[in-house]
Amino acid sequence: MKIIIVGCGRVGQTLAEKLNSDGNDVTVIDLDASKVHEITAKCDVMGLVGNGATHTILREAGINNTDLFIAVTNSDELNLLCCVIAKKESAANTIARLKNPEYSEVAPYLTEELGLAMVINPEYAAAEEIARVLRFPTAIQIEPFAKGKVELIKFRLAKDSQLANMSVKDLASKYKADVLVCTIERGEQSFIANGDFVFQEKDVVSIVATHKEASAFFKKINHKGRSIKNALIAGGGAIAHYLCSILERSGIALKVIDKDRKVCEDLSAQWDKVNVICGNASNNDLILEEGLDTAEAFVSLLPLDEENILLSLFAKEVSNGKIITKIKRTDYDNVISRLDLDTIICPKNITADTILRFVRATNNAKGSNIETMYNIIQDEVEALEFVVKDNSPIAGIPLYQLKFKNDVLIASIFRNGEVIVPRGNDVIQPGDAVIIVTKQLGLHDLSDILR
Domain count, the chain: 4
27 and 92 share a domain?
Answer: yes
What residues contact residue 426 under an 8 Å CB cut-off, 6+ apart? 398, 399, 413, 420
Average pLDDT over residues 13-23: 89
Domain closes at, from 59, 87, 120: 120
What one-letter code names the amino acid at 437? Answer: V
Average pLDDT over residues 366-388: 81
Average pLDDT over residues 85-103: 90
CA–CA dist 122, 176 (Å, integer): 39
Question: Would residue 362 be called left, alpha or beta, if left means φ above 0 and alpha means ψ between -120 and 50 degrees?
Answer: alpha
Which phi and psi angles does 319 have, rounded to 5°? -130, 150
148 and 107 share a domain?
Answer: no
CA–CA dist 128, 312 (Å, integer): 20
Domain closes at, from 98, 120, 142: 120
Start-to-end CA distance of the chain, whole Å, equals: 25
What one-letter code names the amino acid at 445? Answer: D
Asked whether residue 387 is assigned to any structural domain, the reply reads yes
User: Domain span at residue 431?
Assistant: 361-449
105 and 134 share a domain?
Answer: no
Q: Where are the alpha helices (DSSP H) in 201-283?
A: 211-220, 238-247, 261-270
pLDDT for position 423: 87
β-sheet bridge partners, residue 94? 69
pLDDT at 365 over 60: no
Question: What separation in angstroms does the CA of 254 have from each of 133, 293, 297, 323, 360?
Answer: 15, 15, 10, 14, 38
For the chain, the helix, strand and coil percentages under 3-state DSSP, each to the nearest 5: 35, 25, 35
Task: Tell me the CB-side half-sphere exposure of residue 383, using CA atoms within 13 A.
Answer: 26
Asked whether residue 246 is assigned to any structural domain, the reply reads yes
What residues contact residue 221 under an 8 Å CB cut-off, 6+ apart? 161, 162, 163, 175
Q: What CATH number does residue 333 fall under?
A: 3.40.50.720
Confidence of residue 367 (pLDDT cuts 50, 70, 90): low
CA–CA dist 214, 212 (Å, integer): 5
CA–CA dist 129, 135 (Å, integer): 10
**Angle between helix 76-89 and 107-114 (nearest 10):** 20
Q: What is the largest CA-CA distance in the chain?
A: 66
CA-wise closest residue to 445 among 378, 380, 376, 387: 387
The secondary structure of residue 389, as a DSSP letter, is P
Question: Would residue 273 be called left, alpha or beta, if left means φ above 0 and alpha means ψ between -120 and 50 degrees?
Answer: alpha
Domain closes at, from 178, 197, 220: 220
Q: State the sign of the Cα–Cα–Cα–Cα dihedral 345, 155, 203, 323.
A: positive
Q: State the sign of the Cα–Cα–Cα–Cα dihedral 425, 429, 433, 435.
A: positive
190 and 293 share a domain?
Answer: no
Strands 180-186 and 204-209 turn out to be: antiparallel
Q: Is the pTM of this model over 0.95?
A: no
Q: State the sign of the Cα–Cα–Cα–Cα dihedral 373, 377, 378, 380.
A: negative
pLDDT at 366 over 60: no
The residue ranges of DSSP E strands in 213-354, in sequence order, are 230-234, 253-258, 275-278, 297-300, 322-326, 343-345
DSSP 3-state of 229: coil
What's the full length of the chain, in residues?
451
Asked whether residue 266 is assigned to any structural domain, the reply reads yes
* Contact present, 414 and 433 (Cβ < 8 Å): yes
Average pLDDT over residues 7-21: 90
Asked whether residue 17 is assigned to any structural domain, the reply reads yes
Q: What CATH number does residue 209 fall under?
A: 3.30.70.1450
* Contact present, 368 and 385 (Cβ < 8 Å): no
212 and 113 share a domain?
Answer: no
CA–CA dist 87, 58 (Å, integer): 11
Asked whether residue 102 is assigned to any structural domain, the reply reads yes
366 and 396 share a domain?
Answer: yes
80 and 6 share a domain?
Answer: yes
Confidence of residue 342 (pLDDT cuts 50, 70, 90): confident
428 and 339 share a domain?
Answer: no
103 and 135 share a domain?
Answer: no
CA–CA dist 29, 44 (Å, integer): 14
Asked whether residue 413 is assigned to any structural domain, the reply reads yes
In whole numbers, what is the pLDDT of the chain averaged over residues? 90
Asked whether residue 272 is assigned to any structural domain, the reply reads yes
281 and 201 share a domain?
Answer: no
Question: 372 or 200: whose pLDDT is higher?
Answer: 200
* Contact present, 90 and 63 (Cβ < 8 Å): yes
pLDDT at 420 over 70: yes
375 and 292 share a domain?
Answer: no
Q: What is the DSSP string of 35-64?
A: HHHHHHHHSS-EEEES-TTSHHHHHHHTGG
**DSSP tally for the chain: helices H, then strands E:** 15, 22
User: Could you read off the pLDDT of 97-156 as tens digits, one per residue?
Assistant: 998 878 877 888 888 899 999 999 989 999 999 998 998 888 888 888 888 899 999 998
43 and 139 share a domain?
Answer: no
* Contact present, 94 and 69 (Cβ < 8 Å): yes
Give the least confident one: 2-6, 45-49, 224-228: 224-228
Asked whether residue 353 is assigned to any structural domain, the reply reads no
CA–CA dist 80, 94 (Å, integer): 9
User: Could you read off the pLDDT of 225-278 as tens digits, one per residue?
Assistant: 667 899 999 999 999 999 999 988 788 999 999 999 999 999 999 998 999 999
